[in-house]
Amino acid sequence: MPKAVPSKEIAEAVEFLKNGDLVALPTETVYGLGADAANETAVAKIFAAKGRPANHPLIVHVPRGVKLETWATEIPRIAKKLTDAFWPGPLTLILKKSTRIPKAVTGGQETVGLRCPAHPLAQQLLLEFAKTGSGIIAAPSANKFGHVSPTTAAHVRSEFGSDLLILDGGPCEVGIESTILDLSRMRSLKHPVLLRPGAITPEMIAKVIGEMPLNINDAPNSTSPPTDTPRVSGSLAAHYAPMTPLKLMKHKMLQEEVDQRLVEGKRVAVLAFAAPHGAAPSPPGVGVKKVRPLVWITADRDPVAFARDMYAHLRTLDAAQTTVILVEAPPTTAAWEAVNDRLGRAAVGSGRKLSG
């Protein structure tokens, strides 16, 4: 259950937003680093705090009941079906932006990602901000660019310290970033395009609109992404990454790798679906460097539960300061698509500090 936050903290956060300052807020997916999306100076602070490239667009969070026409144009009919079915919730829609959305938010593009978060605290903040401010909050994940996304207030604090105003809404219930669906090219492609997988699956979308969205690589007479595909959050090959090198491995190979590294006297962190063989691992968490050479977290076999806990597990294993994090590769079924997407990007981006 999300934590309740006193109204005075919400009021303080609203004042921060109105003054062009940053606020960390919980959503059902991950914690966001928020600023008034209508204030270019405030938006610039997000990029500076995260170390985020200026051409990497931000998702704009809107309150329940918002009129899309306020912030977007050329809105296809299926947009209402999707918002009726999935908002508030973990679905971001890419639409042609209205002139009220600064290009600083969209990385210079003419499209904008809009999302209505389901976390009650995020909604409370948005609704209160709408009374005296713009009512829209640009909020990428509240971490340094490319790092593992935060799913608790403590994760945010570890990234930015205690000076940042953080609204603590408890652990995020979904745990991975929203599904991103592109509706901005419906006139030319005639179909929506899935740009990032998430908790809202293509099958769920198809039940609402009557067709499966195209995959990002699907284009008429082409085997590569269309050149006009909008840039969106979380689309880089290296992202969501721990500082410790991370390797994805099949179960049998993983156990062999663990055994070999232990023989070599190296410390190993593991996220796997079964308990370890042989040596007993140290309990996961910070401060285990001198306890035992093996740190092991047994993961949930349910894809929804795995996704919810994944970033927290990666942060825990990263903090153990081992030479490598070995992750048992999940199944390749549709239910695991979003998890596999995040883990693949984490593996590519990992190891920027320690060597393995």
Using alpha carbons, list the distances in angstroms from residue 219 to 183, 188, 210, 216.
Answer: 14, 11, 19, 8
Residue 247: other Cβ atoms inside 10 A: 16
User: DSSP class of residue 141?
Assistant: B
Q: What pLDDT shows up at residue 223?
A: 43
Residue 198: other Cβ atoms inside 10 A: 24
Q: What pLDDT shows up at residue 354?
A: 39
CB 18 within 8 A of CB 132: yes
Which two tokens mark 210?
Answer: 């009557």
Q: What is the pTM of this model?
A: 0.91
Q: What pLDDT shows up at residue 241?
A: 85
Dmax (CA) for the chain in angstroms is: 63
What is the C-alpha separation between 319 and 307, in angstroms, rounded? 19
3-state class (DSSP) for residue 336: helix
b/e per residue 74-111 (b: at least 16 CB within 10 A): bbbebbeebbeebbbbbbbbbbbbeeebbebbbbebeb
Residue 144: other Cβ atoms inside 10 A: 14
User: DSSP class of residue 7?
Assistant: H
Cα dihedral 54, 55, 61, 66 sign: positive
Q: What pLDDT shows up at residue 6?
A: 65
Q: What pLDDT shows up at residue 227?
A: 58
Residue 323 makes CB contacts below 8 A (sequence gap 6+) with 244, 245, 261, 266, 267, 268, 354, 355, 356
| 112: phi then psi, degrees, rounded to nearest 5 | -140, 145
What is the C-alpha separation between 182 and 180, in angstroms, rounded? 7
Q: What pLDDT shows up at residue 282?
A: 65
CB 56 within 8 A of CB 80: no
Q: List, in sequence order, every residue forming a beta bridge with 166; answer none if it has no partner.
A: 24
What is the C-alpha separation between 24 and 167, in angstroms, rounded? 6
What is the C-alpha separation between 217 and 195, in angstroms, rounded? 9
What is the C-alpha separation between 80 and 122, in angstroms, rounded? 22
DSSP string, 39-87: -HHHHHHHHHHHT--TTS--EEE--TT--HHHHEES--THHHHHHHHH-
> Before 283, cis peptide (omega within 30)?
no
Q: Where are the beta strands (DSSP E) in the chain?
A: 23-25, 32-36, 59-61, 72-73, 91-97, 111-115, 137-138, 165-166, 179-182, 193-196, 214-215, 246-249, 268-272, 294-298, 324-328
Q: Interhelix angle for 303-319 vs 337-349, to 10°?
A: 20
Q: What pLDDT shows up at residue 226?
A: 56
What is the C-alpha separation between 283 and 297, in angstroms, rounded? 8
The secondary structure of the chain in percent helix, strand, coil, rounded to multiples of 5, reads: 35, 20, 50
pLDDT tens digit at each of 356 positions of the chain: 676 666 899 999 999 999 999 999 999 999 999 999 999 999 999 999 999 999 999 999 999 999 999 999 999 999 999 999 999 999 999 999 999 999 999 999 999 999 999 999 999 999 999 999 999 999 999 999 989 999 999 999 999 998 999 999 999 999 999 999 999 999 999 999 999 999 999 999 999 999 999 998 764 544 445 557 787 776 666 677 899 999 999 988 999 999 999 889 899 999 999 988 765 666 665 444 555 689 999 999 999 999 999 999 999 999 988 999 999 999 999 999 999 999 999 999 888 653 33
Q: What pLDDT shows up at residue 276?
A: 83
- Kindly list the structural domains of the chain, giving each domain's residue range(s) and its CATH number in brackets, ordered by start: 7-215 (3.90.870.10), 246-349 (3.40.50)
Please state whether beta strands 193-196 and 111-115 pair in parallel, antiparallel, or not at all (unpaired): unpaired
Q: What pLDDT shows up at residue 146?
A: 86
Q: What pLDDT shows up at residue 321?
A: 87
